[in-house]
Amino acid sequence: MSKKKYFNRDLSWLAFNQRVLEEAHDESCPLLERLRFLAITSNNLDEFFMVRVGGLTMLETQGIRKVDPSGLSIHEQLASISERVHHLVELQDACYTEQLEDCLAKSGIRHLRPGGLSAAHTEHLRRYFREEIFPIITPQAVDPDGPFPSLLTRALHLCVRLKNPPGASRKPRVALIQIGPHMDRFVTLPGGDDYAFILLEDVIRMFLDDCFPGESILESCAFRLTQNADMAADDRASDLMEAMEAVLDARNDSACVRLEIEESATKVLQTYFKRALSIKDRAVYLIRGPLDLAAFMNKGGVSGYEELKNPSWPPQPVPAMDPDRSVFDTLTHKDVLLVHPFDSFDPVVRLVDEAARDPDVVAIKQILYRTSRNSLIIKSLIQAAEQGKYVTAILELKARFDERRNIDWARALERSGVQVIYGVKGYKTHAKMCIVIRREAQGLRRYMHFGTGNYNEVTAHLYTDVSYLTSREDLGADASAFFNTITGYSQPHSFRKIDAAPLTLRDKLLELIHGEIERHKQGQEAMIMAKVNALADPGLITALYKASNAGVKILLNVRGICCLRPGVKGMSDNIRVISIVDRFLEHSRIFYFHQNKDPKVFISSADLMPRNLDKRVELMIPIEDAPSRNRLIQVLETCFKDTVKARELLSDGSYRQVRMKDKQKPLRSQEALYKQATRTAQKAIQAKPTVFEPHRPS
C-alpha cells in the first residue's frame, strides 16, 4: 500500500473516463446508448489533451521543475498519462470494432467498408463523390523542405503519399485533404431495409485517382491533430473581447500534443509526421477503428430503432410552480427547489421571461457562464432591455471552449442596451445567479435563482443539477451585495448567509468540517455527506482526513477527479467515496453537515479544487427551508444507496462496482429520483379538481 496521501488529478480523471467507457461495454445498456458513451469518452479525451496535456507539455518545454501533491514530476505525469491513454484507446478501438459494430449490424445499422460494397453501392458512391464531394475538397501539397501547414485542430484529414518523380528528393512527397467539418461524415447507402452507411474518408479514399490524375499513390491514411488550447487572454488587456479573439486565433497555431493516425500508416509516414510536428513517440496514437469516435454521438439520434435507445424520461412539471400563477406570486409565499433534469427547467426560464414582460419589474441582474446556441434566457434579457428595464449581465468570456459563443452573445446583448460585464480581472466568474427586482406595493422586492448548473436549456435536460428559487430577504441582500462587488469597485464584505470564492467559501467549508470534529469529540452525532464533480484541494482533503481520524463518518459522491485516498487505516478509514456514471451527467454540488441532528445543507457552483476556491468567483448557498433541505438530503442518501451505476473508489485508486448486501434490492439512483419526481407530479395532477370551462362566443 502506497503511503502517499493524494492521487494524481490527471490519472484520476482518466480513471473517470474509463468508467464512462465501461458504460459502452455494459450489455445491459441499450445499444445506441453504448455507442453514445463511447463517443463521450472520445470527446472527453479531446478536451483533456487540449487543456491538461497541453498545459503540462508547455511546462515541460519551459523546463519547469516541480511536483504535484501526489509526488509526480511533470515528466512523470506526462509519461503516466501516455501509458494510460494508450491503453484506453486500445479499449475504445476494441469496444467499437469487436463489440458494437457487430451488434449494430445485427440490429440493422451497418457500417460498411470499401471492400464490402456491392457493385450498385460502388456506382452510387462514384456519382456521389463526383457530384457532392470532389467539387468541395481541395488537396494541399506539402513542401518537403518547408514548414508543415497549419491545420484545423481535431479536424479529420487524409494524408496521401505519392511516388517521388525520378531524381527528386527522397523525402516523402505528401498531400493533405481536409475532411471539412460541414461535410456529412456518414454517407448513407441506398437500398435494403437496414440503415447502411460508409464513412466519408473511405469514400474519398476510393476515388483518390480523381484527385491526383497521373500520379502513383503509395498509401493514404486518415489522421487528426490535437493542439494545445491551454492559453488564456491577458487580463490586463484594455479590450478583453479583442484579447479573447486573439487567443482563439492563437490556438490554431499552437503546438501539437497528440497525433491520431490510422494503424495502417507505414513507418515511413509515421516518422514523417513525428519529424514534421516535432512530437515524441508518446504523443502518437495508432488507431485501429474509426478516428474521431466523438462524431458517432449523433448516431444515437438515428430515426427509428427506438428499442436500441433509452426509454424516454421527460422532465416533470413542478407542482409548486402553477403555470396559471405568476412566478412572483408563488415565490412571495414559498421557496421552490428543483432537481434537474427530473424536474423541468421551465420555471427558471419562466422567471426571466416573466421578468422581461412584467411592467412592475425594474431590473434584472444575471451571471452567465455557458448558455445554449438559441438561448431563450438571453433572448428574454434582450427583450427586457429593449422595453427599458435595467439589465446587467456578467458574461464570462473566458469560459473555455464557449468563448466564441459568449463573444457573439455579448455583442447581441450590448446592441440591445444590456450592460455587459466581461467577468472579473484575474478570475473566472463561475457562479450561477439571477436577481429580479420588482416594484410592489410594499416597495422593491428581490426574487432570486441560485443554481449549481448553467443557464443552458439544452444541458438542463442532460445534467443533474439543482435550482433554488426564492425571495428571502437575507439572500436578496447578499445577492445584490455580491453582484455589486463583481461589477463595481466596492470592497468585498461579509455576507449574511452566502459564502463566495475566493473570499470566504474555503474557510466556511473548513469551519463546517472542524465543527463536525468537535461535535464528535463531545459525544454528539457527526457526519458529512457531499456530492461534487471533483475533489482535488489538498487543504480540504487534509481536513477530511482529520475528521475521519476523529471518528466522523464521511460519505463522498465524487463524479470525476478524486485526489483523496479513502480506506487507508489511520488516515481515511471512515471515508467512503463513490462515483456514479449513468444516462445523465452528474453535475450538482451539494454539501451536508449533520450538526447533531440540526443539519446544515448547501448548494454550490464550486467543486473542491484549488482553481474553484482560489481562482474563480463561486457561490455557496444555504438551503434553510425544511422541505427543500430535506429533499436535498434525500437526493444524497439515494445516491449512496445506488447498487447499479455506482462504483466505489478503493485505497489503491481502482474502482469496483458497489456490492449489494444480502437481500438488498438493486437501486439505480437516477431512476429512483426520476420516479419520485414523476409520482410527485402525478399526485399533484390527481389532487387538482376538475374544472369545466365553456367555450363562449367572441
Tens of pLDDT, residues 56-101: 998 888 888 889 999 999 999 999 999 999 999 999 999 999 999 9
* First-residue to last-residue Cα distance in the chain: 81
Is the pLDDT at 251 greater than 80, yes or no? no
Nearest to 326 by CA among 295, 304, 298, 347: 347
Mean per-residue pLDDT for 284-288? 96
Round to whole Å and give the CA distance between 552 and 543: 11
- Residues 361-383: pLDDT tens digits? 999 999 999 898 899 999 999 99
* 21 within a domain of the structure (yes/no): yes
Task: Give the pLDDT confidence score for residue 660 in this predicted structure.
Answer: 83
DSSP H helical ranges for 212-286: 240-251, 267-277
pTM attached to this predicted model: 0.93
- When pLDDT is cut at 50, 70 and 90, the band that residue 144 belongs to is confident
Is the pLDDT at 128 greater than 70, yes or no? yes
- When pLDDT is cut at 50, 70 and 90, the band that residue 292 belongs to is very high
* Residue reference for cell 439571477: 434
Domain end position, chosen among 497, 524, 542: 497
| Residues 219, 338 within the same domain | no
| Residues 480, 559 within the same domain | no
Is the pLDDT at 234 greater than 70, yes or no? no
Residue 471: phi and psi, rounded to 5, are -125, 25
| Residues 158, 27 within the same domain | yes
Is the pLDDT at 593 greater than 70, yes or no? yes
Task: Give the pLDDT confidence score for residue 1 in this predicted structure.
Answer: 36
| Residues 263, 275 within the same domain | yes
Q: CA of 26: how far to CAs of 38, 211, 668, in Å?
A: 11, 43, 15
Q: Are 558 and 576 in contact (CB under 8 A)?
A: no
Is the pLDDT at 238 greater than 60, yes or no? no
DSSP state of 633: H
* 469 within a domain of the structure (yes/no): yes
At residue 508's C-alpha, the angle toward residues 505 and 511, to 5°, is 155
Task: Give the pLDDT confidence score for residue 423 in this predicted structure.
Answer: 82
Q: Are 348 and 461 in contact (CB under 8 A)?
A: no
Does residue 187 or residue 664 have the better pLDDT?
Answer: 187
Residue 121 is a catalytic residue: no
- When pLDDT is cut at 50, 70 and 90, the band that residue 655 belongs to is very high
Does residue 101 or residue 663 have the better pLDDT?
Answer: 101
Task: Give the pLDDT confidence score for residue 397 in this predicted structure.
Answer: 81
Task: Give the pLDDT confidence score for residue 438 in this predicted structure.
Answer: 97
* 313 within a domain of the structure (yes/no): no
| Residues 287, 419 within the same domain | no
Round to whole Å and give the CA distance between 391 and 435: 10
Mean per-residue pLDDT for 40-45? 96
Kindly report the CATH number assigned to the domain that includes residue 484: 3.30.870.10
Domain end position, chosen among 264, 284, 301: 301
* 2 within a domain of the structure (yes/no): no
DSSP 277-301: HT--GGGEEEESS-S-GGGGGGGGG
Task: Show the cell assigned to 623.
Answer: 438551503
Residue 78: phi and psi, rounded to 5, are -65, -40
Task: Give the pLDDT confidence score for residue 247 in this predicted structure.
Answer: 55
- Residues 407-420: pLDDT tens digits? 888 889 999 999 99
Task: Note the Cα 369 to chain centre separation in Å.
Answer: 13
DSSP state of 115: G
* 696 within a domain of the structure (yes/no): no
Side-chain-side CA neighbours of 459 within 13 Å: the count stands at 19
| Residues 364, 416 within the same domain | yes
- When pLDDT is cut at 50, 70 and 90, the band that residue 686 belongs to is confident
Does residue 684 or residue 235 have the better pLDDT?
Answer: 684
- Residues 186-229: pLDDT tens digits? 999 998 788 999 999 999 999 999 999 999 999 999 999 999 88
* Residue reference for cell 458513451: 37
| Residues 392, 428 within the same domain | yes
Is the pLDDT at 243 greater than 60, yes or no? no
| Residues 336, 409 within the same domain | yes
> How many CB atoms are closer than 10 A to CB 83?
13
Task: Give the pLDDT confidence score for residue 242 in this predicted structure.
Answer: 61
Domain of 482 in residue numbering reads as: 327-497
Domain end position, chosen among 301, 336, 357: 301
* 697 within a domain of the structure (yes/no): no
- Residues 419-457: pLDDT tens digits? 999 888 888 999 999 999 999 999 999 999 999 999 999
DSSP H helical ranges for 645-687: 669-687
Mean per-residue pLDDT for 281-296? 95
- Residues 518-572: pLDDT tens digits? 999 999 999 999 999 999 999 999 999 999 999 999 999 999 999 999 999 999 9
Round to whole Å and give the CA distance between 200 and 290: 11
Task: Give the pLDDT confidence score for residue 49 in this predicted structure.
Answer: 94
* 49 within a domain of the structure (yes/no): yes
Q: Which amino acid is at 665?
A: K
Marked catalytic residue, from 430, 449, 520, 587: 430
Q: How many domains does the structure of the chain reveal? A: 3
Is the pLDDT at 235 greater than 80, yes or no? no
Top mean pLDDT of 4-18, 181-195, 240-254, 300-314 is at 4-18
| Residues 416, 559 within the same domain | no
Kindly report the CATH number assigned to the domain that includes residue 163: 3.30.1840.10
Round to whole Å and give the CA distance between 107 and 195: 10
Average pLDDT, the chain: 92
* 309 within a domain of the structure (yes/no): no
Task: Give the pLDDT confidence score for residue 2 in this predicted structure.
Answer: 45
| Residues 520, 483 within the same domain | no
| Residues 430, 516 within the same domain | no
Least confident of 125-129, 146-150, 406-410, 577-581: 406-410
- When pLDDT is cut at 50, 70 and 90, the band that residue 695 belongs to is confident
| Residues 403, 523 within the same domain | no
Helix (H), strand (E), coil (C) string for 165-185: CCCCCCCCEEEEEEECCCCCC
Round to whole Å and give the CA distance between 692 and 93: 60
